[in-house]
């Protein structure tokens, strides 16, 4: 930013003589800074008229505007279709870095100090090809953890407690992706029904951390203590080598529809911040009542300033953008992959090295954009995207297809589409983007847990207060013959193997894997696939686990260990036939007999068995080659290990048919050896042999 930047230094800056507040509003005709008593947030002690400059920035100065000051805005303006002014409303500064709730829809912005003692903590900078994301909820991860002191459970400090960090390190993940932690509130409908927005996708302010996630002591001490606890959490995770990625919701705000709460943007400059038609009616592509207008440079700037703040002042490593297609909609409301905001997030010098992950859709026209976010730009890394095509294909292969085969005697499709996803989704992402553009997931916070995918055919959302209408009906799940809990051992064993297949596929696929917290041990939400409004043991992680759950956690740890140890599973680029591409994996495909796959093998529903041989071409790691066998039929099959050039033997590393991970088998099996592969299962082998012959 240069001194000539008309939107520089928005928000509060405290100087040696006075504090200054800068707020943008193109539509207002008057604005005042309201200062409140230090102990009584409803006692207005001073009102300071603000003046407007030529660029629409309103400026107010006061010697009383210091660290700890509680303040609000009053804004008035003309009646117009797109305006929504109320000169009596006390509004949140869009750039406020601290907030206090004063009852109902009332809030006060708070001036907080900058700076923090980061000590030896540094951003881990984990390369994407080594990244394993663990999607978690700040409260839910530690709320029931008996090893965390009671007063810290469910807080930022609880996530940073040594027992939580030890669990994450032992599991083998490299990053926690936190559901929204920017200040949020529950929607009016939920409040009226006595429910709460547990997930947090209803942002009140883009700069302030969510106060209720701080420990009780920090909440009592005020916004500065909340901020310090958040930074302390990041510091301790970084010291442990774990990155922190934030799920951020910039596409809409908590002000809901035009008749919703007027807490900030609506009362300051509704015409600038929200997308609307000529009559002033909102154009809503988020399904949340309003849509931030990223055809306007002012909201674009707001998001970039927010990202810079969290990435630098708070030391955040990356961001997952909720409904990110909305951020790429221009003045014509259509999506543009070269949208200034999407490109600026990549190229901004203050955001270099920050991971950018898109949820590449919204609910508006042309809202599904998987594969269409920007690739590398002028040497800057490209975006990664949640790959819903991967999710759907993997669920189909291991669940919906098996259910169909039981009904009709044969699965509906062959293995070709599944293999494409396993190898990095080259049919979705361009060659210059490569497999690391794909964030692979089978489950997320939204939808069935992995255990519930194998136990329920339909959603069970009656507890959400919407007569089971909410949540998707397109689950691609399979209950294996019984809906919900059962004591049938055969069903339970088949379900458990299905979960191992889903986890195995996720953690052995090319791309960036994301595990949903609790899936590593088989957490259930009792069939609720939209548990956003449940802040209870239904959604919190249990730390009292059954033998079967501990065995599944051991399987997850083993799979993550194998991913770390075998670079062939982690290519950064797509291989090109006839060429040697550094950091790609050369892939060969064989059928059950050990012969190379032909076109009929890929597409026929009669063939759902393949052998996938991948050889790495690393520039920083040792050469590595693996063989993955996938068998997608419930009958056992005999497989002949392929006689591939350069391969002298195979060693079994993992078999999804076993409930407990097997120790590494020292037995070296020569090519051509016949192996029995259990129905609907996977086997992973290390393929031994010289690099030169690959």
Cα 538 to the center of its chain, rounded Å: 20
Question: Is 508 inside any structural domain?
Answer: yes
Of the residues 541, 565, 589, the one at which a domain ends: 565
Q: Are 142 and 155 in contact (CB under 8 A)?
A: yes
Q: How far apart are CA 197 and CA 201, in angstroms?
A: 8
**pLDDT exceeds cutoff 50 at 573:** yes
**pLDDT exceeds cutoff 70 at 544:** yes
Give the bridge partners for 47, in sequence order: 34
Question: Is 78 inside any structural domain?
Answer: yes
- If asked whether residues 169 and 316 sit together in one domain, one would say yes
pLDDT of residue 5: 87
Q: Are 462 and 471 in contact (CB under 8 A)?
A: no
Question: Is 121 inside any structural domain?
Answer: no
Of the residues 517, 535, 565, the one at which a domain ends: 565
Q: How far apart are CA 137 and CA 539, in angstroms?
A: 9
- If asked whether residues 141 and 96 sit together in one domain, one would say no
What is the mean predicted confidence (pLDDT) over 149-171? 98
**pLDDT exceeds cutoff 50 at 215:** yes
pLDDT of residue 209: 98
pLDDT of residue 664: 76
Question: Is 265 inside any structural domain?
Answer: yes
Q: Is 322 a catalytic residue?
A: yes
Q: What angle do CA 132, 137, 138 make, to 5 degrees?
A: 105
Pairing of strands 625-631, 609-616: antiparallel
- Which H/E stretch holds residue 419? helix 416-422
User: Lowest-confidence range among 153-162, 188-197, 477-486?
Assistant: 188-197
Give the bridge partners for 637, in sequence order: 677
- Percentage of the chain beyond pLDDT 90 is 94
Question: Is 277 inside any structural domain?
Answer: yes
- Percentage of the chain beyond pLDDT 70 is 99
Dihedral angle over CA of 51, 56, 61, 65, nearest 10? 140
pLDDT of residue 693: 46
- If asked whether residues 357 and 481 sit together in one domain, one would say no
Structural domains of the chain, count: 4
**pLDDT exceeds cutoff 70 at 694:** no
Question: Is 24 inside any structural domain?
Answer: yes
What is the mean predicted confidence (pLDDT) over 286-293? 98
Question: Is 404 inside any structural domain?
Answer: yes
- If asked whether residues 318 and 398 sit together in one domain, one would say no
- If asked whether residues 349 and 459 sit together in one domain, one would say no
Catalytic residue among 93, 255, 293, 359: 359
- If asked whether residues 381 and 506 sit together in one domain, one would say no
- If asked whether residues 281 and 415 sit together in one domain, one would say no
Burial 311-326 (b: 16+ CB within 10 A, else e): beebbbbbbbbbbbbb
Dihedral angle over CA of 336, 338, 343, 346, nearest 10? 100
pLDDT of residue 646: 94
Mean per-residue pLDDT of the chain: 96
- If asked whether residues 379 and 416 sit together in one domain, one would say no
Q: Are 58 and 23 in contact (CB under 8 A)?
A: yes
Of the residues 530, 565, 600, the one at which a domain ends: 565
User: Which of the four pLDDT bands, split at 50, 70 and 90, describes residue 180?
Assistant: very high
- If asked whether residues 334 and 229 sit together in one domain, one would say yes
Range of the domain at 648: 580-693
pLDDT of residue 692: 59
Report how far apart, in Å, the C-alpha atoms of 498 and of each of 380, 393, 668 are: 39, 14, 28
pLDDT of residue 581: 85
**pLDDT exceeds cutoff 80 at 3:** no
- If asked whether residues 91 and 138 sit together in one domain, one would say no
The CATH number of whichever domain residue 92 belongs to comes to 2.60.40.10
What is the mean predicted confidence (pLDDT) over 373-381? 93
Please tell me whether residue 125 adopts helix, strand or coil conformation.
Answer: coil
Q: What is the DSSP string of 65-101?
A: --TT-EEEEEEE----TT----TT--B--TT-S-EEE
Kindly give, in sequence order, each residue whose CB lies less than 8 Å from that of residue 10, ignoring residues fewer than 6 positions away.
22, 23, 24, 57, 94, 95, 305
The CATH number of whichever domain residue 586 belongs to comes to 2.60.40.1180
In the DSSP assignment, the letter for residue 229 is H
- If asked whether residues 594 and 500 sit together in one domain, one would say no
Lookup result for tokens 């129905």 = 679
Q: How far apart are CA 514 and CA 442, in angstroms?
A: 8
Question: Is 138 inside any structural domain?
Answer: yes
pLDDT digit string, tens, across residues 607-664: 999 999 999 998 889 999 999 999 999 999 999 999 999 999 999 999 999 999 988 7
Q: How far apart are CA 305 and CA 303, in angstroms?
A: 5
What is the mean predicted confidence (pLDDT) over 241-247? 98
Q: Which of 367, 289, 294 is nearest to 325 (CA)?
A: 367
- If asked whether residues 404 and 376 sit together in one domain, one would say no
**The token pair that represents 496 in the structure block:** 């458990």
Catalytic residue among 322, 362, 520, 601: 322
pLDDT digit string, tens, across residues 40-70: 989 999 999 999 999 999 999 999 999 999 9
Q: Is 520 a catalytic residue?
A: no
**pLDDT exceeds cutoff 70 at 196:** yes
Pairing of strands 355-358, 384-386: parallel
**pLDDT exceeds cutoff 60 at 518:** yes
The CATH number of whichever domain residue 554 belongs to comes to 3.20.20.80
In the DSSP assignment, the letter for residue 186 is -
What is the mean predicted confidence (pLDDT) over 600-613? 94
Q: Are 252 and 290 in contact (CB under 8 A)?
A: yes
């Amino acid at each position: 930013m240069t001194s000539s930047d008309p939107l520089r230094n928005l928000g509060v800056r405290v100087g040696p003589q006075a504090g200054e507040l800068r707020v943008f509003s193109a539509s207002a005709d008057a604005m005042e800074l309201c200062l409140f008593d230090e102990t009584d947030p409803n006692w207005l002690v001073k009102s300071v008229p603000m003046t407007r400059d030529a660029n629409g920035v309103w400026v107010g100065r006061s010697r009383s505007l210091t660290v700890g000051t509680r303040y609000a805005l009053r804004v008035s303006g003309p009646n117009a279709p797109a305006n929504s002014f109320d000169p009596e409303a006390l509004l949140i500064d869009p750039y406020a870095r601290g907030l206090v709730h004063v009852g109902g829809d009332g809030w006060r912005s708070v001036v907080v100090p900058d700076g923090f003692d980061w000590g030896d903590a540094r951003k881990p900078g984990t390369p994407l090809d080594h990244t394993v994301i663990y999607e978690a909820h700040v409260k839910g991860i530690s709320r029931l953890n008996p090893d965390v002191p009671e007063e810290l459970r469910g807080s930022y400090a609880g996530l940073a407690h040594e027992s939580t960090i030890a669990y994450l390190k032992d599991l083998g993940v490299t990053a926690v992706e936190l559901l929204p932690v920017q200040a949020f509130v529950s929607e009016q409908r939920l409040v009226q029904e006595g429910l709460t927005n547990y997930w947090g996708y209803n942002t009140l302010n883009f700069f302030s951390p969510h106060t209720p996630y701080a420990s009780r002591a920090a909440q009592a001490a005020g916004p500065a203590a909340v901020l310090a606890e958040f930074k302390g959490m990041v510091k301790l995770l970084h010291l442990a080598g774990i990155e922190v990625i934030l799920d951020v919701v910039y596409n809409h705000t908590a002000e809901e529809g035009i008749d919703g709460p007027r807490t900030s943007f609506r009362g300051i400059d509704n015409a600038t911040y929200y997308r609307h038609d000529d009559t002033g009616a909102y154009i809503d592509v988020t399904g949340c009542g309003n849509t931030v207008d990223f055809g306007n440079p002012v909201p674009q700037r707001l998001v970039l300033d927010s990202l810079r703040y969290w990435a630098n002042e708070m030391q955040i490593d990356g961001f997952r953008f909720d409904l990110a297609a909305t951020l790429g909609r221009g003045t014509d409301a259509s999506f543009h992959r070269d949208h200034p905001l999407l490109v600026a997030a990549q190229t901004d010098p203050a955001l270099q090295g920050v991971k950018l992950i898109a949820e590449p859709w919204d609910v508006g026209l042309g809202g599904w954009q998987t594969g269409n976010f920007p690739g590398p730009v002028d040497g800057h890394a490209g975006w990664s995207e949640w790959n819903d095509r991967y999710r759907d294909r993997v669920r189909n292969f291991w669940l919906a297809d098996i259910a169909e085969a039981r009904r009709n005697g044969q699965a509906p499709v062959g293995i070709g589409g599944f293999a494409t996803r396993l190898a990095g989704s080259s049919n979705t992402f361009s060659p210059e983007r490569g497999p690391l553009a794909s964030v692979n997931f089978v489950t997320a916070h939204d939808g069935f847990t992995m255990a519930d995918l194998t136990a329920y055919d339909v959603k069970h959302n009656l507890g959400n207060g919407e007569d089971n209408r909410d949540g998707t009906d397109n689950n691609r799940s399979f209950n294996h013959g019984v809906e919900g809990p059962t004591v049938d051992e055969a069903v339970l064993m088949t379900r458990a193997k299905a979960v191992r297949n889903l986890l195995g596929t996720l953690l052995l696929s090319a791309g960036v894997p994301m595990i949903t917290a609790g899936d590593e041990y088989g957490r259930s939400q009792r069939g609720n696939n939209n548990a956003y409004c449940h802040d209870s043991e239904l959604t919190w992680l249990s730390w009292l686990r059954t033998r079967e759950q501990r065995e599944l956690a051991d399987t997850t740890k083993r799979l993550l260990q194998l991913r770390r140890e075998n670079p062939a599973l982690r290519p950064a680029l797509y291989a090109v036939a006839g060429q040697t591409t550094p950091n790609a994996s050369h892939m060969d495909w064989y059928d059950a007999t050990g012969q190379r796959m032909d076109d009929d093998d890929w597409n026929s529903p009669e063939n759902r068995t393949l052998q996938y041989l991948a050889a790495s071409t690393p520039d920083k790691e040792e050469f590595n080659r693996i063989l993955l066998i996938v068998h997608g039929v419930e009958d056992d099959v005999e497989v002949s290990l392929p006689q591939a050039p350069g391969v002298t033997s195979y060693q079994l590393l993992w078999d999804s048919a076993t409930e407990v991970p097997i120790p590494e088998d020292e037995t070296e099996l020569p090519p051509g050896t016949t192996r029995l592969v259990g129905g609907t299962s996977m086997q992973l082998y290390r393929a031994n042999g010289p690099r030169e012959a690959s």
